[in-house]
């Protein structure tokens, strides 16, 4: 799990004492706040060049575990090939906390890894628990999901960003992201192979778009072997890696007519939440500047008409650009993104492109990403004492410059690793301004 908490100066002072040294990374991007924990273990584990510190007493990561009476679990027969971090887990018999000192203001990323396995120490029944991060409910009545495969949940706490809101087809400025938690629902590299954490400076996974593309009819994939030209003010590598930007799907005109088709991707979503849709563009397909114009639709609304990628990318080909939109999840249960030729599109040219999509769920008015119960209520309703009573409940992670993880005993089998990095907040003013102009 990765989290981006907002820094509270008071907490900052308090928590300084439990800071872990920033890890030396082999990547040029090294976040000031970076915590990686190998939960339930007394040894460190290295995954993709990152050292996950054991959190057992005496280990490098033990200082952040602020609770006692937790249980270390060991998978006696881990599946071959599963990373070492999934071979151990920490189970919690009562609300428990991890507390991380955060030195850098801004949005942070919290990534939680869960993996159920059989353990002789704890019976893994119908375990349910809640997880809070920085006061936000991120998981409620969670079971750890699939027994066979590790589950990774990723959250961002976004601070001080101004966004565009798609509201009934109209675009309005949206300033409501100042105190937000977001859950990454989808992270897709369009037209290319899966991008693994090894090839992403923030260790993200970008899955191929095939499962979400409505129809392959009328579009084609493009792979680019050249250099992605990151621009000052545009997207950075922390916004999206080369391997995502160097593939795309395009609409191409091969004769004297501009094709009258859309490329459409659909994503299952839960209604009752707002979603941030981040679209990544990089013109790796046109032979020259100012030949590519297209329309962008989100949930059927035209959110960008005659989009001119050359202009927003500072008149440079292969320069990445991204745009954010906020949409209401509706009762249809899907969120759709379409790209289609515009009235300005040229024949014998590329007439639509998309390189990547990210869809993030915004917390609801209860401050929750998973249900209609607020964090305060969960904390209050946690039964005190008498842990012998079986209550189908609770795990909490609070992130207020600190993370607390509260999990119920028998929750077990839940392996959890915590990683902290600074957010890809390179949604720079410039690119936002450009986006705003573009979409006005
Ligand atoms: C968890 O599930 C129980 C029983 O289904 C329900 O009463 C409770 O409200 C749920 N809690 C949360 C926080 O969703
Ligand atoms: C990283 O990307 C390169 C191509 O850019 C690819 O050949 C390699 O297999 C990737 N590595 C992993 C671990 O995904
Ligand atoms: C152009 O190509 C498309 C598909 O390749 C075809 O459907 C269309 O009829 C062609 N138009 C002309 C004018 O040849
Ligand atoms: C493309 O999608 C938009 C939004 O759903 C729709 O209005 C438009 O008619 C579509 N165009 C084509 C050619 O299907
Ligand atoms: C394209 O031009 C036609 C005719 O001028 C107009 O009716 C239509 O609304 C335009 N479509 C878009 C998406 O701008
Ligand atoms: C998310 O939670 C914060 C604080 O709990 C709240 O101020 C904000 O309005 C919530 N967001 C939405 C979209 O309801």
Residue 295, ligand 5, Cβ within 6 A: yes
Q: Is residue 335 part of a domain?
A: yes
Domain boundary among 361, 378, 394: 361
Spell out which residues line ligand 3, taking CB within 6 angstroms.
Answer: 254-257
Q: Is residue 411 part of a domain?
A: no
Are 28 and 52 within one domain?
yes
Residues of the chain predicted below pLDDT 70: 1-31, 103-106, 124, 146-147, 157-179, 382-440
Are 170 and 42 within one domain?
yes
Q: Is residue 168 part of a domain?
A: yes
Are 350 and 291 within one domain?
yes
- Determine the residue of 6, 165, 365, 379 to mutate for testing ligand 6's pocket, defined as the one with the most ligand atoms within 8 A of the Cβ atom: 365
pLDDT at residue 106 in the model: 67
- Determine the residue of 131, 141, 408 to mutate for testing ligand 1's pocket, defined as the one with the most ligand atoms within 8 A of the Cβ atom: 141
Distance CA 189, CA 207 (A): 6
pLDDT at residue 177 in the model: 54
Atom 13, ligand 2: residue with shortest CA distance? 198
Q: Is residue 2 part of a domain?
A: no
Residue 378, ligand 1, Cβ within 6 A: yes
pLDDT at residue 41 in the model: 92
Q: Which atom of ligand 6 sits closest to the CA of residue 364?
A: 14
Q: Express each pLDDT in 263-290 by its tens digit.
A: 999 999 998 999 999 999 999 999 999 9
Nearest to 392 by CA among 408, 403, 416, 406: 408
Are 193 and 250 within one domain?
yes
Q: Is residue 1 part of a domain?
A: no
Domain boundary among 325, 346, 361: 361
Distance CA 298, CA 215 (A): 17
Atom 4, ligand 2: residue with shortest CA distance? 243
Q: Is residue 393 part of a domain?
A: yes
Residue 261, ligand 4, Cβ within 6 A: yes
Sequence-ordered list of residues with C-beta below 8 angstroms from that of 10, at least 6 positions apart, any chain: none
Are 351 and 370 within one domain?
no
Are 82 and 148 within one domain?
yes
Are 285 and 191 within one domain?
yes
Are 107 and 211 within one domain?
no
Query: For the chain, what is the domain count?
Result: 2
CA 15 / ligand 2 centre spacing (Å): 38
Are 216 and 274 within one domain?
yes
Distance CA 341, CA 339 (A): 7
pLDDT at residue 79 in the model: 86
- Residues 64, 52: contact at Cβ < 8 Å? no
pLDDT at residue 64 in the model: 83
Q: Is residue 235 part of a domain?
A: yes
How does the average pLDDT of the chain come out, rounded?
Answer: 77
Atom 6, ligand 5: residue with shortest CA distance? 343
Are 357 and 374 within one domain?
no
Domain of residue 351: give its range.
185-361
Are 314 and 387 within one domain?
no
Q: Assign 379 to helix, strand or coil.
A: helix
Are 258 and 277 within one domain?
yes
Sequence-ordered list of residues with C-beta below 8 angstroms from that of 160, at least 6 positions apart, any chain: 106, 177, 178
Distance CA 204, CA 226 (A): 22
Length of the chain (residues):
440
Which CATH number goes with the domain that contains 351?
A: 2.60.120.430
pLDDT at residue 147 in the model: 64
Domain boundary among 344, 361, 378: 361
- Residues 262, 340: contact at Cβ < 8 Å? yes
Element (H, E) at 359: strand 356-362
Q: Is residue 440 part of a domain?
A: no
| Mode of pairing for the β-strands spanning 180-189 and 207-208 | parallel
């Amino acid at each position: 799990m990765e989290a981006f908490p907002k820094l509270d100066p008071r907490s900052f002072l308090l928590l300084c004492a439990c800071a872990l040294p920033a890890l030396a990374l082999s990547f040029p991007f090294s976040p000031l706040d970076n915590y990686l924990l190998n939960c339930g273990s007394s040894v460190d584990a290295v995954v993709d060049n990152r050292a996950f510190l054991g959190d057992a007493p005496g280990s490098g990561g033990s200082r952040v575990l602020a609770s006692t009476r937790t249980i270390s679990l060991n998978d006696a027969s881990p599946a071959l090939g599963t990373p070492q971090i999934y071979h151990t887990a920490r189970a919690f018999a009562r609300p428990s906390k991890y507390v991380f000192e955060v030195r850098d203001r801004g949005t942070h990323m919290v990534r939680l890894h869960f993996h159920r396995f059989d353990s002789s120490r704890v019976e893994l029944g119908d375990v349910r628990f809640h997880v809070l991060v920085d006061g936000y409910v991120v998981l409620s009545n969670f079971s750890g999901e699939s027994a066979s495969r590790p589950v990774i949940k990723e959250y961002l706490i976004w601070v001080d960003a101004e966004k565009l809101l798609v509201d009934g087809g109209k675009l309005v400025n949206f300033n409501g992201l100042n105190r937000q938690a977001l859950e990454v629902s989808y992270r897709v590299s369009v037209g290319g192979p899966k991008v693994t954490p090894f090839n992403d400076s923030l260790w993200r996974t970008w899955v191929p778009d095939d499962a979400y593309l409505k129809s392959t009819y009328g579009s084609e994939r493009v792979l680019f072997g050249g250099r992605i030209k990151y621009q000052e003010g545009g997207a950075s590598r922390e916004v999206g890696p080369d391997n995502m930007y160097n593939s795309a799907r395009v609409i191409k005109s091969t004769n004297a007519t501009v094709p009258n088709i859309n490329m459409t991707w659909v994503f299952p979503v839960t209604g009752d939440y707002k979603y941030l849709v981040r679209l990544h563009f990089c013109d790796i397909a046109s032979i020259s500047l100012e030949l590519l114009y297209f329309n962008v639709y989100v949930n059927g609304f035209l959110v960008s008409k005659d989009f001119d990628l050359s202009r927003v990318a500072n008149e440079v080909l292969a320069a990445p650009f991204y745009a954010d939109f906020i949409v209401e999840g509706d009762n249809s249960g899907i969120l759709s993104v379409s790209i289609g030729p515009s009235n300005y599109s040229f024949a014998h040219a590329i007439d639509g492109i998309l390189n990547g999509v990210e869809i993030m769920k915004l917390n609801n008015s209860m401050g929750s990403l998973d249900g209609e119960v607020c964090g305060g209520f969960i904390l209050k309703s946690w039964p005190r004492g008498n842990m012998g009573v079986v209550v189908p409940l609770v795990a909490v992670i609070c992130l207020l410059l600190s993370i607390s993880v509260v999990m119920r005993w028998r929750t077990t089998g839940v392996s959890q690793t915590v990683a902290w990095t600074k957010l890809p907040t390179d949604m720079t003013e410039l690119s936002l301004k450009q986006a705003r102009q573009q979409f006005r």
